[in-house]
C-alpha cells in the first residue's frame, strides 16, 4: 500500500517509492503504478503531476475531475512550491546557483532528454549545496525546479558535470538507486484556500 501524508475529500498527498511508476506505462507489465494502487482504495484519485520512476517522494493527487483541473492550474501557473534533495557525483564549487538550459527529448534514445538551444523548451533549476562529503567525493544539494520539464533536474545536474548518484542514463556510475527525492511540496487547497505544506525526509 502507498503511504499517505494527507487525505480529504478534495485531494491526497502520497509518498512515492523509488522504482514505481507514477502512472501506467504502455505495456502490460507497466500497469502497476502509484495512481492504480491509490484507485484500488480511492476510485476517484486522479494524477496531478508525476515523478520519474527512479525518483521517490511527495506526489499530489486530486479526487475527481474538478479538483484535478484546479490543482493542475496551480502547477501550470507555477504557484506550487517544490523542493527536491539529491546527492550528486563530485564536489560542487560554489554554494548556490542556477541552470538555465532548454531541453528536448532525445528521440532515438527516449525517454532521455538533451540540451537543445534552438528547439528545446525553456528549463530553469535553482540549486543550493546542503553538505559535501569529501571522502566520497559527493555533494548533497537542494534543487528547486522553476519549470517542470521531464528529467529536468537529472539533466541539469549532469550538465554541470555533477550527475545524480546512480543516474546511469546521464552517465553516473551504477548505485543502489538514483539519489533524487521530492522532499517538500506546498500548494493552496482548492476548496478551503488554505496553504498546505508537506515534508518528506530523504531516504538516503
Q: Which residues are catalytic?
A: 52
What does the radius of gyration of the chain's CA atoms come to, in whole angstroms?
Answer: 17
Cα–Cα distance measured from residue 189 to residue 121, given in angstroms and rounded to the nearest whole number = 29
Helix (H) or strand (E) holding 66: helix 65-76
Cα–Cα distance measured from residue 98 to residue 95, given in angstroms and rounded to the nearest whole number = 11
CA dihedral in degrees (115, 117, 123, 128; nearest 10)?
70
Cβ-contact 59, 46 below 8 angstroms: no
The cell numbers describing 195, all together, are 496553504
Amino acid at each position: 500500500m502507498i503511504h499517505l501524508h494527507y487525505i480529504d475529500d478534495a485531494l491526497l498527498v502520497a509518498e512515492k517509492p523509488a522504482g514505481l511508476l507514477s502512472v501506467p506505462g504502455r505495456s502490460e507489465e507497466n500497469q502497476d503504478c502509484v495512481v492504480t494502487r491509490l484507485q484500488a482504495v480511492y476510485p476517484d484519485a486522479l494524477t496531478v503531476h508525476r515523478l520519474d520512476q527512479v525518483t521517490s517522494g511527495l506526489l499530489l493527487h486530486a479526487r475527481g475531475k474538478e479538483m484535478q483541473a484546479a490543482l493542475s492550474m496551480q502547477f501550470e501557473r507555477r504557484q506550487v512550491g517544490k523542493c527536491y534533495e539529491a546527492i550528486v557525483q563530485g564536489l560542487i564549487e560554489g554554494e548556490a546557483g542556477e541552470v538555465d538550459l532548454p531541453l528536448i527529448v532525445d528521440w532515438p534514445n527516449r525517454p532521455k532528454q538533451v540540451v537543445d538551444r534552438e528547439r528545446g523548451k525553456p528549463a530553469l533549476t535553482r540549486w543550493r549545496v546542503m553538505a559535501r562529503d569529501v571522502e566520497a567525493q559527493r555533494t548533497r544539494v537542494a534543487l528547486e525546479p522553476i519549470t517542470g520539464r521531464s528529467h529536468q533536474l537529472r539533466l541539469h545536474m549532469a550538465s554541470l558535470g555533477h550527475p545524480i548518484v546512480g543516474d546511469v542514463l546521464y552517465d553516473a556510475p551504477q548505485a543502489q538507486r538514483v539519489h533524487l527525492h521530492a522532499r517538500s511540496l506546498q500548494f493552496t487547497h482548492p476548496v478551503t484556500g488554505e496553504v498546505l505544506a508537506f515534508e518528506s525526509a530523504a531516504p538516503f
